[in-house]
Structure 1
Amino acid sequence: MAETAATPRTRTSLPAFAAKPVAVVVLVQAAVLTGLSGRYGFHRDELYFMAAGDRLDWGYVDQPPITPLLARLSTAVFGDTPAGLRVVATLLAAAMVVVVALVARELGGGRAAQVFAAAVGAGSSFVLAISHMLATATLDVLVWLVLGLLALRLFRTRDGRWWLAIGAVTGIGLDNKWLVPLLLLALGVGVLVAGPREVLRTWWLAAGAGLALLLTVPVLVWQAAHAWPLLTVAGGISADDGAENRLLFVPMQLVYLSPVLVPVWVAGIVRLWREPDLRWARALAVSYPVLCAVLLIIGGKPYYSVPLLVLLTAAGAEPALRWARRHRAVAGGLAAVGLAINAMVGLPVLPVSALGPATAMNAEQGEQVGWRELTETVAGVWERIPEADRATAVIFTRNYGQAGAIEEYGHEFGLPQPYSGHMSYADWGPPADAMTGPVVLVGELGSGARSGLLDGCARVTEHDNGIGLDNEEQGTDVSLCTGPAEPWSRIWPELRHFY
């Protein structure tokens, strides 16, 4: 986009983009992620995304439609396997690396700073974790990074037409996850505090907001038609986990990228605030504490602020490199240790039998293990049902991970379509009222369900993943009930739950 004639020259010249070395970082990143993408197995959320992708809609109880759509596209093109699903995650991760390098360039960083920023973007702990698997956060982090880049371009050039690009990316982001307004709020406060305030005094801002709204209308209509369940889920997260989120917020800021990188993003804040040539970018420095304050107030999850930390790390690339050149041995040692720890925490590099310490730092690793084994456990209980009764029997699960696993692996064991009252699975049920036969109950009913909805329930077995890994499904009870106490259509509203 063209810059206005009034734009000072200090805002128009940028270093050349270090395309070749950044491409090398991307290729190494893609090779590592691809090589490890088939280890362990699907994450519980990935199983849910694939189930949602098989039932495409403009929205779901707990998310907009883009991530399930990406899950469906990736498995359709590359195969219904963890490696096939995660191709799209690898591509999104590669885009993150390029954007982070462009942010460093936007802030005046030369070749070395851009490569440093790209390497940090590829190798930080949280980014590795969401790059290895497909999550709503995978695209969300990319959206935040792109918005950060576009906002910096707007601040530097004062060209209001960048609001159109910001609006377009915001609309796409809202069609994936409803966290983008937090970033826009933080950046807006930053602009009001530190400038450049003139970027707010243009009709292009309204045009960008209109474009974002236009792109989000189908999702908003779906949510409104279903009584805004996404807000219900968000409110429940804040109510249930808010105190823990607040308690862990500061410690998690220090480890999400890596403790080794804390001085780098702190240096980025200082640089943005103190360097005269970067006065136009001070809003980015202000936005981080503003976002932290908002998250502490609402009890949001600590990882919501990670994309801003990545942006600030790109800002700190130049001072970090100056320090590293004076302390090469120390810098090399810190980088090696930090990368090794990040890989252990974020990637499936350990044998599953040795996952215990890693899950203490990243529980999502453990949620990629044992789903086929859980399905096999359920199949063992299903086989206890007399064959004549199986046509009217039902498998009912406590959560979407269990249901998604049975959908994915159940055909290997002759299992029927499972049902669940959890999240959007509740919208995909209930069983037909004619299904009055036995019920295989995986886990317990939702916390809001009254007792007696299922008759004659007796615990049959307890799931064991076979390696003693203490994840969410280890020790899950599987029971066999004689049938529903009332028609499924009548009891279904009580079986629905969000948590």
Structure 2
Amino acid sequence: MAAAIIAGMTVLRIVYASALDLRTDEAYYWTWSKELQLCFLDHPPMIAWFVRLGTALFGDTNLGVRFAGIVAMAASQLLLADIVRRVTHNARAVILAVLLPEAALYYGLLMAKVAPDIAAIPFALAMIWALMRLVESDDGRWWLVAGLFGGLALLSKFTVVMLLPGVAAFLLVPAWRSRWLASPYPWGAALIALAVFSPVLIWNVQHDWASFRFQLVRATAPRDFSWRTVGDYIGLQLGQVGFVLLPVTLSALTLTAWRGYRTREPVAILLSTAVLVPFLYFLWKSLTLRIGDTWPMFMWPIGFAAVAINIVKLSQEGWPAWMIRSTVGWARIAVASGLAMVVLIFLYYVAAPWNFLGRADPIGSEAGYQQVAAQVEHELAETGATWIATSDYRTYAMMRWFFRGRVPVVQVNERARFLGFRDPGMNLIAAHPGLYVVRGPDDSGLLWAGTTARLAPLGNVTRSWRGTVMETYAIKKLTGWTPDLSPPPDSPLYQWRWLAGDLDAANCA
């Protein structure tokens, strides 16, 4: 039955990946995959390499862009299964471990959506798996394997650095700390991780530490206390992990931490600390900052392993029968209710004709760009314009996705986002008219102050989803100006903008 569920859910993810139009961030990462960069302003490069792998197999299609997420989900489940098997030697616990991510919306469905997390999750789990092998075998060479996977996780997303407290506690709290501190293996693991992460370091040395400064500004900028951002954080975790599964996971992690630190048991210390420390850190930051919907997603699969292991440990440790029955019962409810919710949401987005959330719908709010692209193509033919200008990375990414290189597309501002990018086709841009495609809220004209650009309005176009207008765009003919693709750092066209209230992992500009 478990195999049938996993097979069915895998098919569901493939259909979802193939049927739904790309979201803006997905198209943005696809543009990265066309470049050969060691790093990018927003994120390390692994997600671009993942996308490039999928498009090499399936072309520039929805499935091609998203294919690596399908593979990453399967790899994550295999790692979870082996982690739990090695700790418990219990087949039921293994089955539970592989079903839990299927019952969580982010993993059961949204691993088919491109984000840096789909690369970070399997590598983070592989690091935990290697440390499990260390406990099992007492062979220090597994430290080196853990260092390799830890470096690959960092090469996927910076936030996985928050797994380090778990690794440090794993090393320092158990009785083996003196032996391992005197061993070359943990230090060798750190050097391997640093070597694997070196492309990001090299790129940042070459570009004035741009990506680190970009992330630090977001993390340290002063903001006022807000209950709303706390509620957003908790609500996102409940929605993406599960209204039942989240409390089940947190309770298992709490018991695992109590067990681990009381007995100095390495596995329990590692699993609990690797999740609870980042969870509590994000909770603290949510007092003043909106936590992005994907930021904590690298840690929850480690918590799912703790859920499955905890059930077995309760029986082994002689806990009351009623508590064991309750724990097992809630885990089953979490799986059943979570699977039902994932399937319902899949059907809503793939098969249903309704829009229950209006403009607030997280998928619908980024749909309908084909309507904008169609109008832009019409205006290109009517005006003789040869290139497209935008002023936000979302519009830039979607225009590139729909035009697939037939027409050069340039985001004329925020050029720090495109450090080291290839020439988009300056022979078709310089001294040629272009089309400026701008979101209604950004159409103030301030961007063009002090330039020689002349803008002639051509009309407006809306993008809509299931009958609801999501956004309006102005299209203008642009003449008398050629964009500078590499403006100096003090230029207003170089710096990224801080968009207050838009603090998603890829949305701080």
CA offsets 1:423-447 (integer angstroms, 9 cap, x no match): 6346546856733534423333799
Asked whether the 8 Å contact 2:97–2:305 carries over to 1, the reply is: yes
SS at match of 2:241: coil
Q: CA deviation at 1:35?
A: 2.8
Asked whether the 8 Å contact 2:434–2:479 carries over to 1, the reply is: yes
Q: CA deviation at 1:489?
A: 5.9
**Residue among 131, 135, 140 paired with 2:120:** 140
User: What TM-score, normalized by structure 1, do the two folds share?
Assistant: 0.80
| 1:27 corresponding residue in structure 2 | 7
Q: Are residues 1:257 and 2:241 paired?
A: yes
User: Partner letter of residue 317 of structure 1?
Assistant: A
User: Partner letter of residue 341 of structure 1?
Assistant: M
Equivalent-residue separation in structure 1 for 2:446 and 2:190 (angstroms): 39
User: Partner letter of residue 419 of structure 1?
Assistant: V
The equivalences for 1:77-116 within 5 A come to 77-108=57-88, 110-116=90-96
| 1:268 corresponding residue in structure 2 | 252
Q: CA deviation at 1:294?
A: 3.3
Higher mean C-alpha deviation, range 267-276 or range 27-36: 267-276
| 2:354 corresponding residue in structure 1 | 354
| 1:398 corresponding residue in structure 2 | 391
| 1:149 corresponding residue in structure 2 | 129
The equivalences for 1:330-341 within 5 A come to 335-341=335-341
| 2:459 corresponding residue in structure 1 | 460
Equivalent-residue separation in structure 2 for 1:353 and 1:120 (angstroms): 29
Equivalent-residue separation in structure 1 for 2:324 and 2:446 (angstroms): 56
Q: Are residues 1:442 and 2:429 paired?
A: no
| 1:409 corresponding residue in structure 2 | 402
Higher mean C-alpha deviation, range 71-80 or range 434-443: 434-443
Asked whether the 8 Å contact 1:98–1:118 carries over to 2, the reply is: yes
Q: CA deviation at 1:246?
A: 5.0
RMSD (CA atoms): 3.7
| 2:499 corresponding residue in structure 1 | none
User: Partner letter of residue 280 of structure 1?
Assistant: P
Identical pairs, percent: 19
Q: Kindly tell me: are residues 324 and 40 of structure 1, through their superposed partners in 2, closer, same or farther at Cα, counting changes over 3 Å?
A: farther
| 1:202 corresponding residue in structure 2 | 183
Q: Structure 1: 5+ residue runs without aligned partners?
A: 1-20
Q: CA deviation at 1:47?
A: 1.5
Q: CA deviation at 1:82?
A: 0.9
Asked whether the 8 Å contact 1:101–1:117 carries over to 2, the reply is: yes
Q: Kindly tell me: are residues 398 and 84 of structure 1, through their superposed partners in 2, closer, same or farther at Cα, counting changes over 3 Å?
A: same
CA offsets 1:231-284 (integer angstroms, 9 cap, x no match): 233134335797675553344344431111134313422442338888232323
Asked whether the 8 Å contact 2:278–2:296 carries over to 1, the reply is: yes
CA offsets 1:320-363 (integer angstroms, 9 cap, x no match): 58878679998766543322223445786444643444985x72
Asked whether the 8 Å contact 2:204–2:211 carries over to 1, the reply is: yes
User: Partner letter of residue 402 of structure 1?
Assistant: T
Asked whether the 8 Å contact 1:37–1:82 carries over to 2, the reply is: yes
Q: Kindly tell me: are residues 440 and 187 of structure 1, through their superposed partners in 2, closer, same or farther at Cα, counting changes over 3 Å?
A: same
Q: Kindly tell me: are residues 489 and 27 of structure 1, through their superposed partners in 2, closer, same or farther at Cα, counting changes over 3 Å?
A: closer
CA offsets 1:407-427 (integer angstroms, 9 cap, x no match): 23226xx96211113463465
The equivalences for 1:94-493 within 5 A come to 94-108=74-88, 110-155=90-135, 157-189=137-169, 191-192=171-172, 197-198=177-178, 199-238=180-219, 248-272=232-256, 273-274=258-259, 279-283=265-269, 284-296=271-283, 301=292, 303-317=294-308, 335-345=335-345, 349-351=349-351, 353-357=353-357, 363=362, 365-366=363-364, 369-385=367-383, 387=384, 390=385, 393-410=386-403, 416-420=407-411, 421-422=413-414, 424-425=417-418, 427-428=420-421, 431=426, 434-443=430-439, 444=442, 449=447, 451-453=449-451, 454-458=453-457, 460-465=459-464, 467-469=466-468, 474-484=470-480, 488=484, 493=491
Q: Kindly tell me: are residues 247 and 193 of structure 1, through their superposed partners in 2, closer, same or farther at Cα, counting changes over 3 Å?
A: farther
Q: CA deviation at 1:484?
A: 4.7
Asked whether the 8 Å contact 1:103–1:311 carries over to 2, the reply is: no
SS at match of 1:38: helix
Q: Structure 2: 5+ residue runs without aligned partners?
A: 316-322, 497-508
Equivalent-residue separation in structure 2 for 1:397 and 1:489 (angstroms): 13
Q: Kindly tell me: are residues 239 and 156 of structure 1, through their superposed partners in 2, closer, same or farther at Cα, counting changes over 3 Å?
A: same
Q: CA deviation at 1:30?
A: 2.3
Q: Kindly tell me: are residues 368 and 116 of structure 1, through their superposed partners in 2, closer, same or farther at Cα, counting changes over 3 Å?
A: farther
Q: Kindly tell me: are residues 330 and 36 of structure 1, through their superposed partners in 2, closer, same or farther at Cα, counting changes over 3 Å?
A: same
Higher mean C-alpha deviation, range 30-39 or range 334-343: 334-343
Q: Kindly tell me: are residues 497 and 356 of structure 1, through their superposed partners in 2, closer, same or farther at Cα, counting changes over 3 Å?
A: farther
| 1:13 corresponding residue in structure 2 | none
The alignment of Structure 1 onto Structure 2 pairs a total of residues equal to 467
Q: Kindly tell me: are residues 383 and 352 of structure 1, through their superposed partners in 2, closer, same or farther at Cα, counting changes over 3 Å?
A: farther
CA offsets 1:275-296 (integer angstroms, 9 cap, x no match): 8888232323234332234335
User: Partner letter of residue 215 of structure 2?
Assistant: A
Q: CA deviation at 1:466?
A: 5.2
Asked whether the 8 Å contact 1:96–1:145 carries over to 2, the reply is: yes
CA offsets 1:10-51 (integer angstroms, 9 cap, x no match): xxxxxxxxxxx8765543332222233211212222222222
Asked whether the 8 Å contact 1:143–1:170 carries over to 2, the reply is: yes
Q: Kindly tell me: are residues 328 and 149 of structure 1, through their superposed partners in 2, closer, same or farther at Cα, counting changes over 3 Å?
A: closer
User: What TM-score, normalized by structure 2, do the two folds share?
Assistant: 0.79
